Amino acid sequence: MSETDRRVVFTPSGRRGRFPAGTPLLKAARALGVDIDSVCGGRGLCGRCQIEVAEGDFAKHGLVSRADHLTAFNEVEARYAEKRGMKPGRRLSCQACLTGDAVIDVPAESQVHKQVVRKRAEVRDIQLDPAMRLHYVEVEEPDMHQPTGDLERLLKALAEQWGLTGLEECDLHTLQRLQTALREGGWKVTVAVHRGQRITAIWPGFHDRAYGLAVDVGSTTIAAHLCNLSTGEVVASGGVMNPQIRFGEDLMSRVSYVMMHPGGDAELTAAVREGLARLIGEVAEEAGVAVEEILNATLAGNPIMHHLLLGIDPTELGGAPFALATNSGMTLWASELDLVMNPDARVYILPCIAGHVGADTAGVILSEGPQLRDEISLIVDVGTNAEIVLGNKERLLAASSPTGPAFEGAQISGGQRAAPGAIERVRIDPVTLEPRFRIIGSELWSDEDGFAAEAAATGVTGICGSGIIEVVAEMYLAGILAGDGIIDGTAQGRSDRVQADGRTFSYLLHAGEPEIRITQNDVRQIQLAKAALYAGARLLMDRLGVDRVDRVVLAGAFGSHIDVKYAMVLGLIPDCDLAQVFSAGNAAGTGARIALLNQTARDEIQRIVRGVEKVETAVEPQFQAHFVEAMGIPHSTAAFPNLAKAVQLPEPRIATAAEPAEGRRRRRRRSGA
């Protein structure tokens, strides 16, 4: 240590050291391993390396820190501040040099591996570490006496200026643009490097715009977030209907279409790619981003969407043994999927887990991180199939359960998709049995003033998944429904909304046009669906050797709309402290966003997926037993202690004999199909 060495402490990391007077702060930070960002490599162009001096007497560090213990604000900083703006007190750490002792605060936005904060408190933030990074470099000019190629001189500059020593050959489109970019930029260019391995884009001079797209390819909707890869910020979000819907509403009808029409897989592949391509155009336009600025995309989807997107015939997924073409994550060129982005943009597709448990579930796991917790999480993503993940840091299990489309409003007499006009909330007065409800598109209940006016735009068009859950649960809580799922004819005496309906009974929810009525068959459909979901969860719990879970996470659109209390009243999910039941929204999409913003998450999910224990419900006798048992509506406070604390459950009542037998026949047909 020399007499002239200055002391510097970086916060919040606390890293400290001594450097000769005149050392640039960025250099000192790098020497100490302090995480400070830079795209321009210390040339005062990018402004990513901004810091602040903490002034004062820092007795614990044994130094006095002052703003004038750095060299004066210089021309480079003045030019940057004038051009791009800079908060008072900020300095560019590549320009400011130590002249005395200093405590330097590195604001969050100046850190390379900054945290991208998520809204939900219970989940971890995303550490920014994108697969595509920009690097500004200054390249040697060619020399006739040392005739190396322009590419080789660029690689040399990247090795020397950025330590990128392991770069492979360059992508062809980038090579085609290389010579022009170098000369237009006066031998200064910015390149995008994919995973520290390969140059995939080039711009003349300094370029600081890089975007990425995280996509959840659902059977119904394709949803995308366009993200700024430098900040992690979502700059635009959007969704389009999956154009495959014209080939069939649900997955199995699309697989059937493929099986029955030669070349059908190519049609379905073209349809989903076309929808995705349109979505990319839309979100890019919304954000004012050129599609060429989108350098990377990550995709999640169920196994059939995954295969069709990749152009793989999904026929094998339509029948046992439900063999996936691959259960690994894949990196492709966007152009291989006909997606228009930067010409050498890369697409990463999350791995599928099993024939029924897709890359969407891999995304859910990335988003929810059950493998990071001591507590046992049960995560369900409900669609036509419910994909179920159970476990903690010791073990993770996954299964898919054939819930059918009832939760999405299909096969329900008044059912419909969640859309304006659909009943989504229901309350039944336990005394009068009179209902009140809310529809999507209005904040008012049907018995509030102004509801009719608000509802006039759409009318009351039907009932969606969350509404069905609530009405059936409320019917049970109001004593209209017995624990075995039979609509109790004796309730006719309490309200004329309970009406005979052939040999069974129904409950009139809404008398308008269309009339919305909950029939015995509707209740049966919900029972079948919820029994499948519950049985899947129970089966995994058996395998894990637990009879309770610590947390429940409901993922997907359905999960974010239902009231968890009603879900538990009906027995969709096992008993759990209601404070530990979370709605995760589009967790598959969030998982895709994590894989977009953090490259190591790709390796992580690949590793996790390999370790997940897959349970195939279709061949598990225990699943059938759980299924039969779960047909009833829970009434045991012993089995549902947490629920019993939250809800006044009705007294157990005996079911009639005829109906359960009918239910058993149905099940037998179903499982034999």
Please report, as ranges, the residues that interact with a second copy according to CB under 8 A. 141-152, 169-170, 172, 175-176, 178-180, 310-313, 315-316, 320-328, 330-332, 336, 352-355, 614, 616, 618-619
In the complex, least distance from residue 145 CB atom to a second copy, rounded to whole angstroms = 6
- Nearest approach, Cβ of residue 174 and a second copy (Å): 10
Shortest distance, position 594 Cβ to a second copy, whole Å: 21
Q: Are 25 and 8 in contact (CB under 8 A)?
A: yes
Give CA–CA dist 375/577, Å, rounded. 13
Q: 320 or 453: whose CB is closer to a second copy? A: 320
From the number of C-beta atoms within 10 Å of its C-beta (0-12, 13-18, 19+), residue 82 rates as exposed
CB nearer a second copy, residue 54 or residue 325? 325
Least Å distance, CB 383 to a second copy, is 19
Residue 78 sits at the vertex; the CA angle it makes with 75 and 84, to the nearest 5 degrees, is: 135
CB of 615 to a second copy, least distance (A): 9
Angle in degrees, CA 566, 426, 562, rounded to 5: 40
Q: How far is the CB of 155 from a second copy (least distance, A)?
A: 9
Q: Which is nearer to a second copy, 208 or 616 (CB)?
A: 616
Q: Are strands 63-65 and 435-439 parallel, antiparallel or unpaired?
A: unpaired
Beta carbon nearer to a second copy, 135 or 307: 307
Phi, psi torsion values for 77, nearest 5 degrees: -65, -40
Nearest residue (CB) to a second copy, 175 versus 245: 175
State the Cα torsion 312-313-318-320 to the nearest 10°: -70
Closer to a second copy at the Cβ: 92 or 353? 353
Q: In the structure encoding, which two tokens stand for residue 473, read together? A: 């649960």
* Residue 77, helix vs strand vs coil: helix
Tell me the C-alpha distance between 286 and 238, whole Å.
Answer: 9
114 burial level (CB within 10 Å; 0-12, 13-18, 19+): buried
For 129, the token pair is: 């570490």
Nearest to residue 39, comparing CAs of 309, 319, 233, 230? 230
Least separation in angstroms between CB 142 and a second copy: 4
Q: From the CB of 180, what's the least distance to a second copy, in Å?
A: 7
Contacts of 287 (CB under 8 A, 6+ apart): 211, 226, 235, 236
* Minimum distance from residue 327 beta carbon to a second copy (Å): 4
241 forms beta bridges with 221
Q: Taking a C-beta distance cutoff of 8 angstroms, is the pair 150, 178 a contact?
A: yes
Nearer to a second copy, 30 or 614 (CB): 614
| Of the candidates 158, 139, 149, the residue with the CA atom closest to the CA atom of residue 198 | 158
Q: Which is nearer to a second copy, 408 or 620 (CB)?
A: 620
Cα–Cα distance measured from residue 271 to residue 318, given in angstroms and rounded to the nearest whole number: 19
Strand partners, 615: 399
C-alpha triplet 562, 406, 275: angle, nearest 5°: 85
Rounded to a whole number of angstroms, the minimum distance from the CB of residue 638 to a second copy is 34
Q: Least distance in Å: CB of 320 to a second copy?
A: 6
- Report the residue number, 77 or 150, with the smaller CB distance to a second copy: 150
Shortest CB 303 distance to a second copy, Å: 10
- Shorter beta-carbon distance to a second copy: residue 170 or 473: 170
Give the 3-state secondary structure of residue 447: coil
Q: What share of the chain is helix, strand, coil (3-state, %, to 5)?
A: 35, 25, 40
For residues 331 and 521, which CB has a smaller minimum distance to a second copy in the complex?
331
Nearer to a second copy, 169 or 447 (CB): 169
State the Cα–Cα distance between residues 264 and 247, nearest whole angstrom.
9
Cis (ω within 30 of 0) for the bond into 20?
A: no
Q: Which is nearer to a second copy, 125 or 152 (CB)?
A: 152
Residue 578 beta carbon to a second copy: minimum distance, rounded to whole angstroms: 34
